[in-house]
């Protein structure tokens, strides 16, 4: 899914949740079209509180995700280093084997009778 579409969808879900929560909490008089001063104050406080909580949660998430990404990167680098060391060891063993084979061909074992 396109990241912009996903972000917009997440924003709309958050907006709908905020609207529903504050409406249910603050609205209790359906006889007037306008909000009363108490309802207006309640909605303002509700939206402010919801926004502050959301910002704090996002800050903690970003911090935690940064730590997780750093740990994954360190693990990946360690794994890459181990693979490089293993490849170097294999190459060294192959070179040793070739040298031994070359020595055997150049200096054959002489049989004495």
Residues above pLDDT 90, as percent of the chain: 70
pLDDT score for 109: 62
pLDDT score for 29: 83
pLDDT score for 41: 96
- How many domains does the chain divide into? 1
CATH number of the structural domain spanning residue 43: 1.10.287.810
30 lies in some domain: yes
pLDDT score for 102: 78
pLDDT score for 110: 65
14 lies in some domain: yes
pLDDT score for 55: 94
H or E stretch at 112: none
pLDDT score for 113: 61
Q: Encode 29-41: b = buried (16+ Cβ within 10 Å), e = exposed.
A: eeeeeeeeeebee
Give me the domain span that covers residue 29.
1-76
pLDDT score for 98: 86
108 lies in some domain: no
83 lies in some domain: no
Look at the block and give the residue holding tokens 């529903």: 20
70 lies in some domain: yes
Look at the block and give the residue holding tokens 């190459």: 91
12 lies in some domain: yes
Per the CB < 8 A criterion, the answer to whether 47 and 21 are in contact is no
Point out the residues of the chain with pLDDT beneath 50: none
Backbone region of residue 27 per phi and psi (left: phi > 0; alpha: psi in -120 to 50; beta: other values): beta
5 lies in some domain: yes
103 lies in some domain: no
Q: Encode 69-100: b = buried (16+ Cβ within 10 Å), e = exposed.
A: eeeeeeeeeeeeeeeeeeeeeeeeeeeeeeee
């Amino acid at each position: 899914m396109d990241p912009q579409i996903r972000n917009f969808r997440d924003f709309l879900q958050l907006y709908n949740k905020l609207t529903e929560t504050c409406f249910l909490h603050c609205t209790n008089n359906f006889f007037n079209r306008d909000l009363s001063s108490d309802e207006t104050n309640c909605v303002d406080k509700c939206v402010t509180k919801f926004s502050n909580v959301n910002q704090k949660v996002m800050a903690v998430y970003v911090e935690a995700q940064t730590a997780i990404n750093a740990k994954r990167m360190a693990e990946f680098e360690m794994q890459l280093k181990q693979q490089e060391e293993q490849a170097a060891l294999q190459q060294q063993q192959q070179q040793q084997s070739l040298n031994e084979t070359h020595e055997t061909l150049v200096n054959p074992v002489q049989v004495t009778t």
